[in-house]
Amino acid sequence: MAERENNKKSSDVRLSPAPWVATAAGLIVLLLGLVATFAIGIYSGGWHGTMSRWAADVFPFPAAIVDGRSVWVRDVLSDTDAFAAYREAHPEVQGVHLTRDQIQSNVLSRFVQEAWFEQIAGNRGIVVTDAEVNAEFATAKQSGSELQDMLKQFGWSEAEFKRRVIRVYLLQQKLRNTLGDEIYQQEAAQAVQKTVYFMKK
């Protein structure tokens, strides 16, 4: 009888969750709140400061989605900083009157266009080889110190310049030559319709 009562009492006892469960739950809530705060700030408030760039590096915030292909906030903010710095260092360059918001809008549009290039090229089997990129870069280097000065100002390595500028340029040229101007423009119009923006355009 006593044994039954002991078993009954034991089954009635409810153990409280381990202390680390509450701590982990609190951290998750805090993290989600942090993500939500930066998402609202970046998307609606146009945040672009040091902490926003850190958050964009840590969390994969999409700036836009082009027919399923993501354009990332971190890339848009990074290139906007680079172009803004170049503009400040070269007031003689056309477009110096552009605000940071206008520069960011142009950068975002360029990334969307690049995503479209890659999408269409991939669907049609159009590729740009490393050899083609290197050959074009060698031609660009003939400009002398101008290219090196530009890379330094933008904070880009030669590899980044090849990826961000040369490869995209060659891919665009191949698409135009393969599709023809009329189809090229039609495809571009369709890409615009299939693009969902999260950042302010």
Q: Are 171 and 117 in contact (CB under 8 A)?
A: yes
* pTM as predicted: 0.75
Radius of gyration of the chain (CA): 26
Q: How far apart are CA 9 and CA 6, in angstroms?
A: 5
**What distance in Å separates the CA atoms of residue 26 and residue 149, rounded to the nearest whole number?**
49
Q: How far apart, in Å, are the Cα atoms of 45 and each of 39, 55, 141, 201? A: 9, 14, 40, 13
Give tens-digit pLDDT for 57-109: 888 899 999 888 899 999 999 999 988 888 877 776 665 578 888 999 999 98
Token pair recorded at residue 100: 């940071």
pLDDT in tens, 104-148: 999 998 899 888 888 888 888 889 999 999 999 998 888 767 788
- Percent pLDDT > 70 in the chain is 83
Q: Which residues contact 80 (CB under 8 A, 6 or more apart)?
A: 48, 100, 103, 104, 107
